[in-house]
Amino acid sequence: MAKLSILLCIAIAFMLSFTLREVVAHTGTATFYTPPYVPSACNGYQKDGVMIAAASDAIWDDGAACGRKYKVKCTGATNQSPHPCKGKKYVVVKVVDYCPSGCEGTIDLSQEAFASIADPDTGKIKISFHEYVNLIINLSIRVFLQL
């Protein structure tokens, strides 16, 4: 019976993931930083890959942003660059570092993450972004913990 309950909950979570997209998009700007990406404010010398970001004070939340994932979309230029957006429509990055006060953007993407959505020669872009949460996994974990 418990297995049936788990399967039912997973199926419901899967269906809800396509209909319950509680997304609040924010706008801001993005810049990029170059390797080496360690040490980082969140994980020290742990390597976190290249699809990563440093959070500005706007989203840092006294370090609570560490580990959060954000879906970032290029929406336009902040300068005279006619077509800064390119490649993928968006990139999902994990916050692993802090971009100190004076940071030029809302979020400072790794060079690789920035290049996947915009021309690096642009340097700074307008973005829309929101916290990226995998609803299937979150709901499945919650259901499993309640059993």
pLDDT at position 74 = 96
Domain covering 23-133 in this structure, CATH number: 2.40.40.10
Q: Which helix (H) or strand (E) holds 125?
A: strand 125-131
Average pLDDT over residues 3-18: 53
CA distance 128 to 74: 7
pLDDT tens for residues 57-113? Answer: 999 999 999 999 999 999 999 988 888 998 789 999 999 999 987 788 899 999 999
Q: Which helix (H) or strand (E) holds 126?
A: strand 125-131
Residue 78 CA, distance from chain mean position:
20
pLDDT at position 105 = 87
Count the residues in the chain.
147
pLDDT at position 101 = 79
Say whether pLDDT at 142 is over 70. no
Coil, helix or strand at residue 10: helix
Where exactly are the structural domains of the chain? 23-133
- Which tokens sit at 15? 């269906």
CA distance 52 to 101: 19
What contacts 94, CB < 8 A, 6 or more positions away? Answer: 48, 49, 51, 52, 53, 67, 68, 69
Say whether pLDDT at 5 is over 50. yes
Say whether pLDDT at 145 is over 60. no
pLDDT at position 40 = 96
Residue with tokens 């915009």: 118
pLDDT-wise least confident of 51-55, 72-76, 97-101, 114-118: 97-101
